[in-house]
Amino acid sequence: MATHHIIKRILLHPPSTSVRFKTTSVQYVASRARDPTFEKLMDNYKNLLKVVAIQDLILANPKNPTVSLQFLSNLSQKLHLNRGAASFLRKYPHIFHVFYDPSKSLPFCKLTDAAVEISRLEAAAIRGSMPIVVDRLVRLLSMSTVAKSLPLRAIFKVWRELGLPDDFEDSVILQNPHLFKLCDGNEPNTHVLKLVSVVPSGNLRAAVENWRIMECCKEDCGSSVDPLELRFSFKHGFPPGMRLGKNFKAKVKEWQRLPYVGPYEEMGEKKKSKSGIMGLEKRAVAIVHEFLSLTVEKTVEVEKISHFRKWFEIDLNIRDLFLDHPGMFYLSTKGKRHTVFLREAYERGCLIDPNPVYDAKRKLLDLVVLGRHRLFSSGSTLQDMDGNEEGKLQEEGGNG
């Protein structure tokens, strides 16, 4: 039987922890067990992403970090500002300060002092974590089975998630010629980032391996956990209220014991047997698990990680992979996008092991959650607009 037919059968009846019948993708997504904590977090994140998009436009001109509302209104649809730019900006007075420029007869927007400070904190945190940033990029390239290289455009998709500086081509790639090399791609005007010195797989320990070591080092490990059980295991934690029947638990246990090739190990020859296909699926899980572990916030849009499929030799549907393993990943559909979280990294909607870049990002999220509350008690020197300016903003908002 051809490999793609076997893979198709595996997708329809996966050998993983879930039991899935022939359903459409939409039905499969809709049938997943919801987790209220992650859903609430995504409610705020979807607005944060819009805020960050506007913030980037404002900061794109460092000499005059402002942007006109007319310009933002023209981008309302692209930025998903459903009620127009002016209406959206008014929701976040702790982040955006809107003012009227008489010389140009136009309303403009700039960041508040509080938002500017958060932006500076994030930039400083990124600069301070450059060794970690370099290590992340080395690890990402080391997972590639295609000559330890990745298309630059794919990395651009996740530069923020990886905590890379916005000038990472210069500050990271060109500053480390002993590690990275930019080559011309197969298509015009495309580039491929290649790892110059390949790191032996034994020198790269995956995040899940660190967890296994910690589990084995626990005082009660010898009496409660068989080290052989942990050898190929991943940490699991299921959504509250999800029914875990006997058969389901048995499948989880069977999957945990399944051998596989780690994310930094060489693939070797692909076996077309059932066990070989199952091993490829578990390797794919290991790769996306490690990918999420490398991100600043242990989360990424599914569409973005899909750009790496070919380079990681993942022959399975990435989104379905996340859905097939609800004990490890949580998939949210909020904000007209599919976003996946590494479940084990979070507790009560916050990272268990935060980092300085995450802490800075979280401060901006706090201002998003704050909305219009405590408008006059914060130190962001916000001012309400007079009637004329408000009227002009409503007119601009109507154009969005």
Token couple for 55: 């913030």
Quick check: 70 pLDDT over 90? yes
Rounded to 10 degrees, the C-alpha dihedral 261/267/268/272 comes to: 80
Question: Tell me: the pLDDT tens digits for 101-130?
Answer: 888 889 999 999 999 999 999 999 999 999
Give residue 309's Cα distance to chain centre.
15
CB-CB neighbours of 268 under 10 Å: 7
Longest dimension (CA), the chain: 76
How many structural domains does the chain have?
3
Rounded to 10 degrees, the C-alpha dihedral 289/292/293/299 comes to: -130
- Reported as type and span, the H/E element at residue 285 is helix 274-294
Please tell me the predicted confidence (pLDDT) of residue 391.
Answer: 41
Answer yes or no: do 348 and 268 share one domain. Answer: yes
- What is the pTM (predicted TM-score) of this model? 0.85
Token couple for 189: 């005007």
274 in any annotated domain: yes
60 in any annotated domain: yes
**Which of 111, 141, 163 lies at the terminal end of a domain, its last residue?**
111
For the residues 143-167, what does the mean pLDDT come to? 95
Question: Tell me: the pLDDT tens digits for 302-349?
Answer: 999 999 999 999 999 999 999 999 999 999 998 788 999 999 999 999
Quick check: 183 pLDDT over 70? yes
Which one-letter amino acid corresponds to residue 117?
A: E
Cα–Cα distance for residue pair 221/198, rounded to 1 Å = 35
Rg (CA), the chain: 24
CB 2 within 8 A of CB 230: no
pLDDT: which is higher, 32 or 87: 87
Listing from the earlier edge strand, what are the strands of the sheet with 106-111?
67-68, 106-111, 96-101
- The residue behind tokens 């039987």 is 1
- The residue behind tokens 């009496």 is 223
150 in any annotated domain: yes
CB 233 within 8 A of CB 214: no
CA dist 38 → 138, 209, 239, 255, 349 (Å): 30, 25, 10, 25, 6
CB 144 within 8 A of CB 199: no
Please tell me the predicted confidence (pLDDT) of residue 199.
Answer: 84
pLDDT: which is higher, 27 or 265: 265
Which one-letter amino acid corresponds to residue 120?
A: R
For the residues 342-362, what does the mean pLDDT come to? 96
Cα–Cα distance for residue pair 128/133, rounded to 1 Å = 10
Please tell me the predicted confidence (pLDDT) of residue 220.
Answer: 61
Please tell me the predicted confidence (pLDDT) of residue 329.
Answer: 97
Answer yes or no: do 151 and 137 share one domain. Answer: yes
32 in any annotated domain: no
Q: Which domain holds residue 178?
A: 129-201
Answer yes or no: do 297 and 215 share one domain. Answer: yes
222 in any annotated domain: yes
Answer yes or no: do 86 and 191 share one domain. Answer: no
387 in any annotated domain: no
Answer yes or no: do 292 and 229 share one domain. Answer: yes
Cα–Cα distance for residue pair 104/100, rounded to 1 Å = 9
Answer yes or no: do 183 and 294 share one domain. Answer: no
Quick check: 54 pLDDT over 70? yes
- Using alpha carbons, select from 67, 262, 253, 250 the residue that is nearest to residue 145: 262
Answer yes or no: do 308 and 192 share one domain. Answer: no
Q: What's the DSSP call for residue 91?
A: T
